[in-house]
Every structure is written in C-alpha cells, then in structure tokens.
Amino acid sequence: MSTVLAITNQKGGVGKTTTTHSLGEALARTGSQVLLVDLDPQACLTYAVGLDPENLEASLHDVFIGRRATTEVILSTGHCSIVPASIDLAGSEIALATKVGREHALARALAPVRAAFDFVLVDCPPSLGILTINGLTAADAVVIPLQCETLSHRGVGQLLETIADVRAYTQPDLTVLGAVATMFDGRSRHPRDIAADVTTRYGIPVLEPAVPRSIRFAEAPASGLSILDHAPSSSGAAAYRELAVLIRAMTPAWRNA
C-alpha cells in the first residue's frame, strides 16, 4: 500500500507545487512508483508537468462527480504519473458541499489505485477549504512547504489547528512529517531564526536540507520539466534529491518493507 503525502500550506507562493513536482520526481529516481495528484483548481502542477489544463480530456473533477474512474484520468509524465486538474475542479467544491462524506471523496478516488504506487503526493490548494480537507483526509502524513519569513510562519498554527480537526473527525492517524524550508537564503539570519522558531513553537521538524532560492525553479515549468531535469546539477535539484531519500526513510511504507 502506498504512502499518501499531502503537500499543503494555506499561504500561496510558498513552493507547494514546486515541492510536489520536484519531490515526486526525486522519489521516482530512488526506484519508487509515484503518483502526483493536482488538487488545486489553478492546475499549476498539471501545467508544470507539461500538460495543458484547458485541453484535458478528463481530470480529477470528472472523478469527483462520478463521470470517470480514477484509472481513466491518470496520465504518465516524466518519471511519475499524475491525476491532473482543470479549472472545473472549482465546481467540485460546490458539488461536494451537498454530499454525505464529502471529506472522503479523494480517499475514495485513490483507493482503487493506491496499490500500484509507493507514494502518492497531493498538491493541495492554498486554502483550508473542502478540497484541502479532502487532501488531508486521504493522507497518511503532511509535508508543509514553508518560506522562512514572518507572514508564512504565522499561518502554520492555523494549519495545525485544521490538521487537529482532521485527526478528530476524519483521519485519526494523520501525522506531520515535517516542514520543508523553500526559497531559503542562508546568508541572512532571519530565515534561520524563522526555521528554528517553527520547531520550537510548533514542535515540527524542519527537514534538511533547506531548498535554496533559485531562478531555475521559475524557469522549469515553462519547459514542462522538474528542477531535476531542467537543472540537474543545481543546488535546488540536489536538495530535493536529499529530501526524497530522507522522506523515503521516514515513511512507514518503507520502514516496514
């Protein structure tokens, strides 16, 4: 059975999509079978892997409304597979709002395909709405991309409150694997202080290494490539390769293999 990781932070622009894509590709290079799930109506992950969200035959929305089976919408891309998104996913929030057990829609959608993968990485939207709740409910563990600045840091407490609610009502075994420091500038003391405070204040480990700020991350989606293919020798690619090895070692599916 696969390990499902929800990549989430309700603050936008902190590197959720980049982390989902880069970490997924890095895990695949360790020999893992990886499924990416784009749970964001903005469909940035879908675009980043080289697909056109506006010209998809089907997407996760079609699964949520019962029009397609999950196996019918999975596409191969790079070293991973993906359940893509489109803007139609915004309509899924409305459709799910009236459904019984709406928090479990993604978990039900993934159930038939989990056995085929070692890792499922869910790119959650920058909100704490029903789609993110679905991502957390379907997950075994949470990875929090964190830009080490004050405004990003302030949102961690609210996210942890939501995770506590999910544990209480829909997924009691959900754990927080740790935070990933993104766009990190080690030359300044402030990012280091923020990272240390996250651990002290919230008890969340900040996984090493931090991912350095680099223009290469902005360039990669334009070519439909992850940082590991666009700039394989960059420090950012090296960081995600190290994080993949660490996360693979930390997750129960691999400890018990």
Res. 257 pLDDT band, cuts 50 70 90: very low
Spell out where the chain has E strands. Answer: 3-7, 34-38, 75-77, 80-83, 119-123, 141-147, 175-182, 206-207
Q: Pick the closest to residue 144 from 80, 211, 81, 218 (CA basis).
A: 211
* Per-residue pLDDT reduced to its tens digit, 178-187: 999 897 666 6
Is 176 a residue whose pLDDT tops 70?
Answer: yes
Average per-residue pLDDT in the chain?
90
* Per-residue pLDDT reduced to its tens digit, 107-121: 999 999 999 999 999
Q: What are phi and psi of 79, to 5 degrees?
A: -95, 0
DSSP state of 6: E
Whether the CB-CB separation of 2 and 254 falls below 8 Å is answered with no
Res. 194 pLDDT band, cuts 50 70 90: confident
Domains annotated on the chain, with CATH: 3-252 (3.40.50.300)
Q: Which residues pair with 178 in a beta bridge?
A: 143
Strands 34-38, 80-83: pairing kind: parallel
* Per-residue pLDDT reduced to its tens digit, 144-153: 998 766 656 6
90-94, 111-115, 195-199, range with greatest mean pLDDT: 111-115
Is 14 a residue whose pLDDT tops 90?
Answer: no
The pLDDT assigned to 167 comes to: 96
Query: Please, what's the b/e burial string for 44-75 (b: 16 or more CB within 10 A of its CB; e: otherwise)?
Result: bbbbbbebebeebebbbbbbbeeebebeebbb
DSSP state of 230: H
Q: Pick the closest to residue 123 from 151, 82, 87 (CA basis).
A: 82
The pLDDT assigned to 222 comes to: 79
Pairwise CA distance, residues 249 & 98, whole Å: 40
Q: What is the mean pLDDT of residues 13-41?
A: 95
Res. 155 pLDDT band, cuts 50 70 90: confident
Pairwise CA distance, residues 198 & 146, whole Å: 10
The pLDDT assigned to 6 comes to: 98
Whether this prediction's pTM lies above 0.85 is answered by yes
User: Among 58-72, 181-195, 206-220, where is mean pLDDT lowest?
Assistant: 181-195
Is 246 a residue whose pLDDT tops 80?
Answer: yes
CA distances from 238 to 5, 72, 86, 245 (A): 21, 34, 31, 11
Pairwise CA distance, residues 143 & 175, whole Å: 9
Whether the CB-CB separation of 41 and 85 falls below 8 Å is answered with yes
